[in-house]
Amino acid sequence: MRLYAESSKCSGCRACLVACSLNLFKENNPKKAALVIGAHFPAPGNYAVSVCTQCGECAAVCPTGAIQKNDRGAYYVIPADCTLCEACVPVCPENVMFVRTGLAETAWKCDLCGDCIAVCGTDVLRIGEIEAKA
């Protein structure tokens, strides 16, 4: 399973970012969300939503094994095992693996909780099976 985003529907409200940070850190802090909404204005005049594809690249390079799979098949970070080495960040093809010293004491990423979906008023986000690449 993974999160999918249909960027063309995004209004840029950022409610998903708040829901995500509440799930991961119990804080209303969009800077601690595990997805990214990029604003492309004035041209082409839209938002681009980047989400984790659960590819596992981050887990493959983590030297401490701090990134594991949960029972839903999503990779997540074990905070106690994370050394903030940042090896996971540059390998993420979607740029949604985060390490920000001073903001959080651990790396973080999408754990596929679905809270972002529940608050999205324009149905941008959905969880589905990982589709084979054509």
Residue 134, pLDDT score: 62
- Specify the range with the lowest mean pLDDT, choosing from 5-9, 43-47, 96-100, 118-122: 43-47
Is 98 domain-assigned? yes
pTM of the full structure: 0.91
What is the mean predicted confidence (pLDDT) over 121-126? 97
Is 22 domain-assigned? yes
Average pLDDT, the chain: 95
Is 10 domain-assigned? yes
Is 39 domain-assigned? yes
Six-digit token pair at 16?
A: 């998903």
Closest listed residue to residue 98, CA positions, set 110, 113, 112, 108 = 108
pLDDT > 90: percent of the chain: 90
Confidence grade of residue 101 (pLDDT, cut at 50, 70, 90): confident
Is 132 domain-assigned? no
Q: Is the pLDDT of residue 122 over 90?
A: yes
The pairing of strands 36-40 and 46-50 is antiparallel
CATH of the domain at 115: 3.30.70.20
Full residue range of the structural domain in which residue 15 is found: 2-126
Domain count, the chain: 1
Closest listed residue to residue 16, CA positions, set 89, 113, 93 = 113
Is 134 domain-assigned? no
Is 14 domain-assigned? yes
